[in-house]
Amino acid sequence: MRILIVEDKRSLAGHLGRALEGEGHSVTLSYDGEVALREGRTNNFDLLLLDVMLPKMDGFSVIRKLRADRITVQTIIVSARDSMEDIVRGLDAGADDYLTKPFALDVLLAKVRAAARRAPEPIPSEIAIRDLVLRPHRFEMQRGERVESLTRTECALLETLMRRAGTVVPHAVLIEAGWSNDIDVGYDSLYVFIRALRAKITHRGESELLQTVRGVGYSLRCESC
């Protein structure tokens, strides 16, 4: 993960940075609230470790301003301010967690690992199988020179099939990918969407990529991919 450590005690910031880099993270250090706010607004961090008592702008204000800007980066406040009122204030300002000083380094590292597990999987810009390209962030696919728009459900189904290209993807897995648990969806509905998706994937004269495995699911032909 890309982590921004906001801590005015430079020795502590350096110690935390080295520990997190040892865990494989990319770390940036900031020593005051104004710089932290600017970094948080302009750089795409996965996690902020944010002190409260900072020069120029306190940590509560930093997280409140970031949330007002709709920046949803996960944030753990790490502060010597350990009263119940401060913890509630930090969480209400938009922090995801609150760790009071002094703390055991192992506890901080465990909280960072937990944050990594909660982090949403980034949307890839492209997924390519043979001459088929999916752009999930645009809800579109391309085959050769031909570009097709996709519905949200079609996009989710195709992404699942492409990520498992060369294997049979069961009906239940595709239903979960396309509709989660929002509504009760049966195989008939899946069939309708797969038929529409197949029509977009393969036009006249093009090789068939999407195959039906009767009674089991569907498979995207991979060959050498």
Together in a domain, 144 and 208: yes
The pLDDT value recorded for residue 187 is 83
What is d(CA 50, CA 66) in angstroms, rounded to the nearest whole number? 12
Looking at the domain assignment, is residue 225 inside a domain?
A: no
Read off the pLDDT of residues 94-137 as tens digits, 9 standing for 90 and up: 999 999 999 999 999 999 999 888 876 666 678 998 899 999 88
Together in a domain, 88 and 161: no
For the chain, residues with pLDDT lower than 70 are 120-124, 180-184, 223-225
The pLDDT value recorded for residue 121 is 63
The pLDDT value recorded for residue 72 is 85
Cα pseudo-dihedral 58, 60, 66, 68, rounded to 10: -120
Residue 31 CB-half CA count within 13 A: 7
What is d(CA 163, CA 32) in angstroms, rounded to the nearest whole number? 43
Together in a domain, 111 and 173: no
Q: Does the model's pTM come out above 0.75?
A: no
Q: Which of 73, 99, 118 is the last residue of a domain?
A: 118
Contact 86, 53 (CB under 8 A): no
Together in a domain, 61 and 112: yes
Q: Which of 83, 100, 118 is the last residue of a domain?
A: 118
The domain containing residue 171 runs over which residues? 127-220
Together in a domain, 131 and 113: no
CATH of the domain at 39: 3.40.50.2300
Read off the pLDDT of residues 14-24 as tens digits, 9 standing for 90 and up: 999 999 999 99
